Amino acid sequence: MNRQLKEQYRRLGISEEVCEFGEKIEISLKERFEEIDNRAEYNQMKVIRAMQQHRVSAECFNGSSGYGYSDMGRDTLEKVYASCFGGEDALVRPQITCGTHALALALLSNLRPGDELLSPVGKPYDTLEEVIGIRPSKGSLAEYGITYRQVDMLPDGSFDYEAIRKALNPRTKLVTIQRSKGYATRPTLSVARIGELIAFLKGIRPELICMVDNCYGEFTEEEEPTAVGADMIVGSLIKNPGGGLAPVGGYIVGRKDCVENAAYRLTSPGLGKEVGASLGVIQSFYQGLFLAPVVVSGALKGAIFAANIYERLGFAVIPDGAESRHDIIQAITFRSPDALLAFCEGIQEAAPVDSYVRPEPWAMPGYDSDVVMAAGAFVQGSSIELSADGPVKPPYAVYFQGGLTWYHAKLGILKTLQKLKERHLVNMD
């Protein structure tokens, strides 16, 4: 790192000792970063090919209002998503408010009273507990007479195939597979492992609907779960596929009948995909998808950089510094609330927006404990932008993700290390 660059970091509050520590880690990751760049290039070509295949034009960027009938840009974008993510059809709408909403939409539209939902990968992300009815809530699946069954993964992170076989019954209609770890400390699932699980399930019950919560996983590999048998993949546009430009929205890609069911639930029986104005955001959806492979590559580099730094300092990290990556999330277990809060303060201070704000734990809707969240984002809640969060309860693990550029992700991690060093919460010797 040259003198001028060190001076820039110094102006941002990073000491020379922290800079040099980070530089040694970065040099050791050169080959891994090259692999990530190669994958980003592959996925970039995939996105461009899908856009060319469906003849995306300047006219596609014209917005619609009201009913949104014959919205060329909206309809073309859904064809692009279907091609890019390997599905028969897609629903990509600003009316889908977040990832939890997209998942709830997919579940509520494809399950009926008397059906059962199975999670063979343990407890789903916290905000889905109320959707399912694990924690009672108005409008949950449980209120509609849809039951839920769960099979935890084995201690080594493998699937408990025998327990899954026993859990399947004539009422099991849909299986939900969460790709990312959420607030758990299990490994993220690769597309290959998801394929193995789906093959096992459909070998027993071919008619099962297999849905994958694809949040945080898009473009981290060369294939998406639809390539290995997933009937639906579901995600948020303010995560990976929005590329940091989409201001809102979610998607469902997969089997045509499953997507149609979701469209009728989103709008109304008899209307489905025919209505839904694009409301002036359609160009950002296209441009965000175009940029997404490169943006995701920067976030992956940041996650790997964080894992290697904190692993070197003696903290438990998942994935570890050498593991292959299948989402952009990095978990670091501090076992100390002070270290958790210091890490989040560092991420906040590295932000281009609200850098002067100090993140404080609070009782967020949908969670069962106080949660601290750091995010100085251009789009509220956008976790493809540099962000970190964690429940303030043992084992005091933080979940770091995002960074629209690798350089911003790098600054964020160095800032967290600086914070922990100043409070004598790490030993860099």
Angle between helices 282-312 and 30-53 (to 10 degrees): 170
- Helix 406-422 and helix 282-312, axial crossing angle in degrees, nearest 10: 40
Q: Is residue 428 part of a domain?
A: no
Read off the pLDDT of residues 278-317 as tens digits, 9 standing for 90 and up. 999 999 999 999 999 999 999 999 999 999 999 999 999 9
Please report whether residue 285 resides in a domain: no
Residues of the chain above pLDDT 70, percent? 99
For residue 238, give the H/E element and its range. Answer: none
Please report how the helices 406-422 and 16-28 are oriented relative to each other, as an axis angle in degrees rounded to 10: 130
Nearest to 313 by CA among 167, 200, 147, 425: 425
Residue 231 pLDDT exceeds 90: yes
345-358 per-position pLDDT tens digit: 999 999 999 999 99
Residues 249 and 154 in one domain: yes
pLDDT of residue 166: 98
| Average pLDDT of the residues of the chain | 96
Q: Are 337 and 396 in contact (CB under 8 A)?
A: yes
Residue 201 lies in a domain: yes
Measured between alpha carbons, how far is 240 from 243 in angstroms, rounded to an integer? 6
pLDDT at residue 184 tops 80 = no
The CATH code of the domain that includes 352 is: 3.90.1150.60
Same domain for 210 and 146: yes
What is the predicted pLDDT for the residue at 332?
96
| Contact (CB, 8 A) for 116 and 267 | no
Number of Cβ atoms within 10 Å of the Cβ of 398: 26
Q: Rounded to an integer, what distance in angstroms lies between the CA atom of residue 68 and that of residue 64?
A: 5
Angle at 109 between CA 106 and CA 110, to 5 degrees: 85
Number of structural domains (the chain) is 2
Residue pLDDT, tens place only, 232-291: 999 999 999 999 999 999 999 999 999 999 999 999 999 999 999 999 999 999 999 999
Rounded to 5 degrees, what are φ and ψ at 118? -120, 130
Q: Is residue 57 part of a domain?
A: no
Q: How many CB atoms are located within 10 Å of the residue 406 CB?
A: 21
Q: Are strands 387-391 and 371-375 parallel, antiparallel or unpaired?
A: antiparallel
Please check whether residues 18 and 76 belong to one and the same domain. no
Q: Please tell me whether residues 89 and 194 are part of one structural domain.
A: yes
Domain that holds residue 269: 65-278
**Of the candidates 125, 190, 171, the residue with the CA atom closest to the CA atom of residue 368:** 125
Looking at the structure, do residues 261 and 135 belong to the same domain, yes or no? yes
* pLDDT over 80 at 367, yes or no: no
60 versus 366: which is more confidently predicted?
A: 60
Give the pLDDT confidence of 120-171 residue by residue, as tens digits: 999 998 889 999 999 999 999 999 999 999 999 999 999 999 999 999 999 9
272 and 298 housed in the same domain? no
Give φ, ψ of 425 to 5 degrees: -100, -5
Average pLDDT over residues 67-80: 97
Q: pTM surpassing 0.85?
A: yes
In the prediction, which pLDDT does 366 show? 64
Same domain? For 342 and 411 the reply is yes
Question: What residues pair up with 316 in beta bridges, in sequence order?
Answer: 333
Tell whether 339 and 248 lie within a shared domain.
no
